[in-house]
């Protein structure tokens, strides 16, 4: 990691570069602290679509780290906030907070999407939901390495959860979109099928793509790190289309 950071520092941040100061200000605006190592954040915001195939300088390793840190911080926060709730409730709440769509919305709310660099030719609008959420996890990984665990906890709780996530509303909201679309199909006597379109593994990461078919026609498509997440996203998209008709 040390050699990689030195490489990025030399290549991406020439001395007294105006873009460096602009990038530093953007990171400060998101985190409210002065970054020690800007190269980490640049790496976190560099999608694999712009990296040559023979190189490994993308945000995927930081995404792996950030995913683990985020999951731990959210789990601890929920454990303390809801001392009387059982494991199933805590697991469901954590899933609602860290699913792809939620993380994508958080990324856009704090401005991570505006700093992310990616190849628009290889990343379509549907995939952006996945890309933005992954970038936020990579950003969290950068915060952890740059500032340490406690600072990362403060960033997640103070800058993400407390400002942008209404836990009480989340508790009362039914996010089981798959059950909803199945119930609708049964009520309206429609044939429904959840089809696994692809399952990819890239550098230790798994991505599932699922489609919802109503009467044989694709009604929704979803992406996720698990099949369940992909099914929920696909079902949600299908429900949105039904509500428009």
Q: For 144-165, how does the pLDDT look when each residue is reduced to its tens digit (9 = 90+)?
A: 999 999 999 999 999 999 999 9
pTM as predicted: 0.72
Task: Give the catalytic positions in this structure.
Answer: 67, 137
DSSP label of 47: -
In this prediction, residue 77 carries a pLDDT of 97
3 state SS of 180: helix
Domain residue limits, the chain = 2-172, 177-244
Domain 2-172's class? Answer: mainly alpha
| Whether 135 contacts 59, CB under 8 Å | yes
Strands (DSSP E) contained in the chain are: 192-202, 205-214, 217-224
Q: Please name every residue paired with 221 in a beta bridge, in sequence order, or none if there are none.
A: 211
Contact between 128 and 114 (Cβ < 8 Å): no
CATH class as words, domain 177-244 = alpha beta
With a CB cutoff of 8 Å and minimum separation 6, the contacts of 118 are: 47, 49, 50, 131
Task: Report the residue count for the chain.
Answer: 245
Q: What is the pLDDT of residues 49-88, one digit of tens each?
A: 766 554 557 888 999 999 999 999 999 999 999 999 999 8
CB 49 within 8 A of CB 123: yes
Percent of the chain past pLDDT 70, that is, above it, reads: 84
Q: What is the DSSP letter of 36?
A: S
């Amino acid at each position: 990691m040390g050699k990689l950071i030195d490489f990025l520092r030399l290549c991406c941040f020439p001395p007294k570069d105006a873009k460096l100061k602009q990038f530093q200000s953007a990171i400060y605006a998101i985190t409210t602290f002065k970054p020690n190592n800007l190269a980490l954040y640049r790496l976190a915001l560099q999608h694999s679509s712009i990296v040559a195939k023979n190189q490994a300088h993308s945000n995927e390793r930081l995404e792996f780290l950030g995913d683990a840190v985020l999951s731990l911080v959210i789990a601890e926060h929920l454990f303390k906030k809801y001392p009387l709730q059982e494991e199933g409730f805590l697991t469901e709440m954590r899933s609602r907070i860290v699913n792809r769509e939620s993380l994508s919305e958080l990324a856009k709310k704090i401005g991570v999407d505006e700093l992310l660099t990616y190849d628009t030719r290889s990343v379509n609008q549907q995939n952006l939901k996945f890309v933005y959420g992954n970038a936020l996890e990579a950003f969290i990984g950068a915060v952890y390495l740059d500032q340490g665990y406690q600072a990362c906890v403060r960033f997640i709780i103070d800058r993400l959860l407390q400002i942008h996530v209404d836990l009480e509303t989340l508790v009362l909201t039914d996010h089981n979109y798959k059950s909803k679309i199945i119930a609708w199909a049964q009520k309206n006597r429609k044939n429904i099928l959840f089809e696994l379109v692809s399952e990819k593994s890239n550098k230790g990461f798994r991505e599932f793509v699922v489609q919802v078919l109503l009467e044989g026609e694709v009604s929704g498509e979803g992406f996720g790190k698990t099949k369940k997440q992909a099914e929920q996203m696909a079902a949600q998209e299908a429900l949105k289309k039904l509500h428009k008709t």
